[in-house]
Amino acid sequence: MDLLKDVLADNDYPGRGVLWCITGDGTTFGAYFLTGRSPASQARTLHHTTAGELIVTPSDAREHDHLRHYVAACQSPDWLVFGNGEQVSTVADRLACGQAPLQALDGLDYEPDPPIFTPRLTVIADNEGVRAWFGAARHSAGDRTATNWLTLHISDLPPNQGVLMTTYHSNGQEVATGAPFTEIRTTAETSSDLLDELWSALPPQLRIAAAVFRPGDLAGSSIRQTSRTPV
Query: Dihedral sign, CA of 109, 111, 113, 117?
Result: negative
In this predicted structure, what is the pLDDT of residue 228?
66
Cis, peptide link before residue 115, omega less than 30° from 0:
yes
The architecture in CATH of the region 2-225 reads 4-Layer Sandwich (3.60)
- Neighbouring-strand partners of residue 199: none
Q: How confident is the model at residue 66 (pLDDT cuts 50, 70, 90)?
A: confident
Q: How confident is the model at residue 68 (pLDDT cuts 50, 70, 90)?
A: confident
The pLDDT > 70 percentage for the chain reads: 98
Report the pLDDT averaged over residues 95-101.
Answer: 97
* Beta strand residue intervals within 86-216, DSSP E: 120-126, 131-138, 148-155, 161-166, 168-170, 175-177, 182-185, 207-214
- pLDDT higher than 70, residue 230: no
CA distance 229 to 34: 18
Condensed to tens digits (0 to 9), the pLDDT of residues 19-51 reads: 999 999 999 999 999 999 999 889 999 999 988
Least confident stretch, 9-23, 65-79, 192-206 = 65-79
| Beta-carbon count within 10 A of 43 CB | 19
In this predicted structure, what is the pLDDT of residue 231?
46
- pLDDT higher than 50, residue 184: yes
CA distance 223 to 32: 10
Q: How confident is the model at residue 58 (pLDDT cuts 50, 70, 90)?
A: confident
Q: Is 230 helix (H, G, I), strand (E, B) or coil?
A: coil
Higher pLDDT, 195 or 172: 195
Residue ranges of alpha helices (H) inside the chain are 4-9, 39-42, 87-96, 101-105, 191-201
Closest by CA to 165, choosing from 88, 84, 103, is 84
pTM here is 0.95
In this predicted structure, what is the pLDDT of residue 51?
83
Residues 105 and 91 sit within 8 Å (Cβ to Cβ): yes
Q: CA gyration radius for the chain?
A: 16
CA distance 124 to 153: 10
